């Protein structure tokens, strides 16, 4: 067996799984931060309940998404040692910053937010969720800095057969980053918006007694999805001009093999935009919550941004081949000296792990989503059980 296609398929699977978790995490944390800001300023109890409900779903997705990210970074040292040896000085810098600064700070602030309910001053508690949001976006920034370097290796020079970093600022102004980062962040907003709309639609289908709660949530989700859909299309087409400068061959979809995923991504993107426009019009006319046939379509529509995201990621990665670092290092030269059998074994093991994580994430999210928000008379913090003799 040839180890190269197995290793590529393994990393593609790992990256795709992790990317889906990241999109929903970024989208939901933005919704939670905005909702808590409105609750803190207005003092509306319903907005505070919305913060807790959608925040609980965000935390579940965040926790399970961490494992996929850890496994993905392990693969750089296990399967792609050629990349680490050749470009580790450059490629590793943004990854180290993402792990040591953005990720650890995000986890710390998230812990303060979770355990600070009813204990921290309301403005301090609000600040913690915004710090969680900002560090989450910073994490996405540095991940995209690393990936954009692979697409367009700026800020480095070859020395003794390896790449050396000579301008970190060039990594932050990389045309491949400037064009793609807003597109990814917009996709996250659309994902969070569609998720909130789909869950709210489910409760209207089930004729929930929490009418006001999910009416407010539906409005928030529709507006978020509309903004995300507009930006994701605008920023998506804006990338074509930059691609023509550093990877002109990628625009020829038939020769690079990206025609199909590109078509899927563009089609789903316009379907999402159409859905959000219709939803906004119906929302303005106060018809959206009463249009039951549309409510049944909103629930499976949660999957639309995920499908578009996978298509977009395939376009970005497949279109770079046969280069791992564009024009500098071929993918075939970056693979570790590991037998195909061992890579296949790890691929199967990781595949089973990711499938289990995906199922666990779906089960937990759907269970909490179906249960709905806590009752209005519920205490701000659940009481801890008292153990005899303690």
pLDDT digits (tens, 9 = 90+) for 222-257: 999 999 999 999 988 888 877 777 777 776 656 567
CA 245, CA 298: separation in Å to the nearest integer? Answer: 39
Beta bridge partners of 330: 323
Q: Which of 68-72, 107-111, 274-278 has the lowest mean pLDDT?
A: 68-72
SS3 58: helix
Q: Is 198 exposed, middle or buried (0-12, 13-18, 19+ CB in 10 A)?
A: buried
Residues 6+ apart with CB under 8 A from 241: 179
Residue 383 in this model has a pLDDT that exceeds 60 = no
Residue-wise pLDDT for 40-86, tens only, equals 999 889 999 999 999 999 999 998 888 777 777 777 778 888 888 89
Q: What is the pTM of this model?
A: 0.90
Contact 200, 218 (CB under 8 A): yes
- Alpha carbon distance 190, 193 (integer Å): 5
Q: pLDDT tens across 118-169, in order?
A: 888 999 999 999 999 999 999 999 999 999 999 999 988 888 888 999 888 9
Torsion of CA 199, 364, 185, 318, to 10 degrees: -120
Q: Kindly write down the DSSP assignment for every residue of 159-171, as one continuous string.
A: ETTEEEE--HHHH
The predicted structure's pLDDT at residue 367: 92
Q: Is 164 left (phi over 0), alpha (psi -120 to 50) or beta?
A: beta
322 prior amide bond cis, ω within 30: yes
Provide the β-strand partners of residue 164.
157
pLDDT band at 389 (very low <50, low <70, confident <90, very high): very low
Q: Which residues touch 75 (CB under 8 Å, ≥6 apart)?
A: 10, 11, 14
Q: What is the mean pLDDT of the chain?
A: 86
Identity of the highest mean pLDDT range in 74-83, 335-344, 362-371:
362-371
User: What number is the average pLDDT over the span 322-350?
Assistant: 87
List, in sequence order, the alpha helices (H) in the chain.
3-42, 45-78, 81-97, 104-115, 122-151, 168-172, 175-205, 211-246, 253-256, 259-284, 292-298, 304-318, 331-334, 340-371
Q: How far apart are CA 231 and CA 187, in angstroms?
A: 8
Cβ neighbours of residue 328 under 8 Å, at least 6 residues apart?
Answer: 86, 87, 153, 158, 163
DSSP 44: -
Burial class (CB in 10 A: 0-12, 13-18, 19+), 33: buried
Region at 252 (left for phi over 0; alpha for psi -120 to 50; beta for the rest): beta
Return the percentage of the chain with pLDDT > 90, whole number: 36
């Amino acid at each position: 067996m040839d180890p190269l296609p197995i290793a590529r398929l393994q990393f593609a699977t790992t990256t795709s799984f992790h990317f889906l978790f990241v999109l929903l995490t970024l989208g939901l944390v933005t919704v939670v931060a905005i909702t808590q800001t409105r609750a803190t300023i207005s003092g509306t109890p319903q907005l505070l309940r919305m913060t807790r409900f959608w925040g609980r779903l965000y935390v579940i997705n965040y926790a399970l998404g961490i494992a996929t990210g850890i496994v993905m970074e392990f693969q750089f040292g296990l399967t792609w040692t050629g990349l680490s040896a050749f470009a580790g000085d450059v490629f590793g810098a943004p990854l180290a910053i993402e792990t040591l600064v953005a990720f650890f700070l995000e986890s710390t602030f998230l812990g303060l937010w979770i355990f600070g309910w009813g204990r921290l001053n309301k403005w301090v508690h609000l600040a913690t969720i915004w710090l969680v949001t900002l560090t989450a976006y910073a994490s996405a920034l540095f991940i995209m800095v690393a990936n954009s370097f692979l697409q367009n290796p700026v800020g480095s020079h070859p020395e003794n057969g390896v790449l050396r970093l000579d301008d970190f600022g060039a990594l932050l102004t990389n045309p491949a980053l400037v064009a793609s980062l807003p597109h990814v962040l917009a996709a996250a907003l659309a994902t969070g918006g569609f998720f909130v709309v789909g869950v709210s639609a489910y409760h209207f289908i089930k004729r929930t007694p929490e009418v006001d709660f999910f009416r407010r949530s539906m409005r928030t989700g529709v507006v978020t999805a509309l903004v995300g859909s507009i930006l994701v299309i605008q920023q998506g087409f804006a990338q074509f001009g930059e691609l023509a400068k550093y990877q002109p061959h990628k625009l020829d979809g038939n020769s690079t093999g990206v025609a199909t995923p590109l078509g899927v991504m563009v089609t789903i993107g316009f379907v999402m935009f159409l859905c959000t426009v219709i939803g906004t019009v119906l929302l303005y006319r106060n018809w959206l919550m009463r249009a039951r046939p549309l409510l049944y379509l909103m629930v499976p529509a949660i999957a639309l941004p995920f499908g578009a995201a996978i298509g977009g990621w395939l376009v970005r990665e497949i279109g770079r081949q046969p280069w791992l670092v564009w024009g500098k290092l071929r993918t075939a030269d970056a693979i570790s000296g590991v037998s195909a059998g061992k890579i296949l074994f790890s691929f199967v093991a990781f595949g089973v792990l990711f499938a289990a994580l995906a199922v666990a994430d779906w089960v937990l999210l759907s269970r909490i989503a179906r249960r709905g928000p806590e009752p209005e008379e519920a205490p701000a913090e659940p009481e801890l059980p008292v153990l005899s003799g303690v």
